[in-house]
């Protein structure tokens, strides 16, 4: 839901720290995204609510929102495919599918393409 709700790349989503979530400004800090650039993406009220429920249930205990079983590291990108299998999904879902859906839904709701580019971390043309 984090990938879909914020349009993050898989490498960005697994590396989110609890301190990157800004519920006052309703945004998520993406540290060292593609090209080594930092940026902010939107944090919807619904996504924030889901992340809070997750946090209360999981209490990761590290700085990472999604820690690895390895001490001091974050989850890897293989977790999405494992989660899809565990849920019994038969349709092929990739990490990029969620990011693409995020952008498509913004576009369908009238968001300017330049705004979508910035949220996705793309260079404006």
Interior angle at CA 7, CA 49 and CA 86, nearest 5? 70
pLDDT band at 44 (very low <50, low <70, confident <90, very high): very high
In the chain, what are the domain boundaries? 2-120
Planar angle of CA 50, 15, 118, nearest 5 degrees? 80
- The per-residue pLDDT for range 103-123, each reduced to its tens digit, is 888 889 898 888 888 878 777
As beta bridge partners, residue 39 has 30
What is the Rg, in whole angstroms, of the alpha carbon atoms belonging to the chain?
15
* 2-120 maps to CATH 1.10.443.10: yes
Q: 74, 66 in Cβ contact below 8 A? A: yes
> What is the tens place of the pLDDT at every residue in 82-94?
777 787 877 777 7
Q: Tokens for 29?
A: 């800090």
Question: Under DSSP, is residue 1 helix (H, G, I), strand (E, B) or coil?
Answer: coil
Q: Answer yes or no: are the C-beta atoms of 53 and 62 closer than 8 Å.
A: no
> Cα(18)–Cα(88) distance, rounded to whole angstroms?
29
pLDDT at 33: 65
């Amino acid at each position: 839901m984090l990938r879909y709700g914020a349009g993050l790349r898989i490498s960005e989503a697994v590396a989110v720290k609890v301190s990157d979530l800004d519920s006052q400004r309703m945004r998520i800090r993406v540290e060292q995204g593609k090209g080594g650039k930092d940026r902010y993406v939107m944090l919807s009220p619904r996504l924030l609510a889901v992340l809070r429920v997750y946090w209360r249930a999981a209490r990761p205990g590290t700085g990472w929102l999604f820690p690895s079983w390895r001490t001091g590291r974050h989850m890897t990108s293989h977790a999405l495919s494992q989660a899809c299998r565990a849920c019994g999904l038969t349709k092929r879902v990739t990490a990029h599918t969620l990011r693409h859906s995020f952008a498509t839904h913004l576009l369908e709701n009238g968001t300017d393409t330049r705004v979508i580019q910035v949220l996705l971390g793309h260079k404006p043309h």
